[in-house]
Structure 1
Amino acid sequence: MIKGLFETHLYVENLERSIDFYGKTLELKQCYYEDDRRAAFFWIGKEKQSMLGLWEKPKEEIDIRHFAFECEPEWILNESVNYLKSRNLKCRNFLRDGTERPMVFVWMPAISIYFDDPDGHSLEFIGILQGKSTPQKEKIVVSYEEWLKIKQE
């Protein structure tokens, strides 16, 4: 039956700007472009495994969306923030501690960091962590260090 999510699509205000962002900034491989329909497609990860479609529309017709790129947890923890900053992208978390460090959703568990594309779509790098889900009544988002303590309990 269903094995995964193959593709997702976003409306963007300026197709060339978005091609530059997803192709050069995020280093996705462009696999198709159609000027007549003002559309571009990118492979996410391995070719023919997952695809992102971009469609140019007037700004007033764009609804802001969210999706997440699956990444290795170690890369998110150790390199993702520098990766984003080196591309002049501001990252965020839900820790409310004034930091830009990755956070952990304890109920999955998964490590994550958020950022935006040029149209304001909310993007995320996320990686599933080893271990059992840990439902917490008080906190569902914690720092990686706090998650390591919870994990040992």
Structure 2
Amino acid sequence: MIEGLYEAHLPVKDLAISMEFYKKIGLKMAWKDEDTAFFWIEENKSWVGLWEGGEYQTPYHPSLRHIAFRVSYENMKNALTWLQSLQIEVVPFGKRTSIEPFVRPHQGNASVYFNDPDGNSLELMCSIEVPDAYKHMTNKLSLEEWEELLTK
């Protein structure tokens, strides 16, 4: 099921300074929003997420205790079954209530989340091909909704 590392996260004090550093060492920008930036380690395979902000003073933040493992899209479709067969509880991401794997068209990936025994956030994640017409979409879609959209 797991093919490699998809992402790791790091907290940063100043996003602009950190972005310049990661560009300098040769990493290519994947995407950015107001307080995060992602750089490809291996394009479409693995990236590092840089997170800026004062919330790093709290005991937990995803950038401090989070790893995403790379899986294929076909394995993503079976991720819930696989995790449940291992008696691993799947958890919702952020404000979502569903535990189903979901697609982020604007980032070109799909994910499902779970925790290890120590409460570290783990994720199965895969890259997806996104047609230009959907690259602007920031809403999260279930795999079923995504596949239905692609057939239109």
TM-score w.r.t. the length of structure 2 is 0.50
Structure that is richer in strand per residue: 2
Q: Whose Rg is larger? A: 1
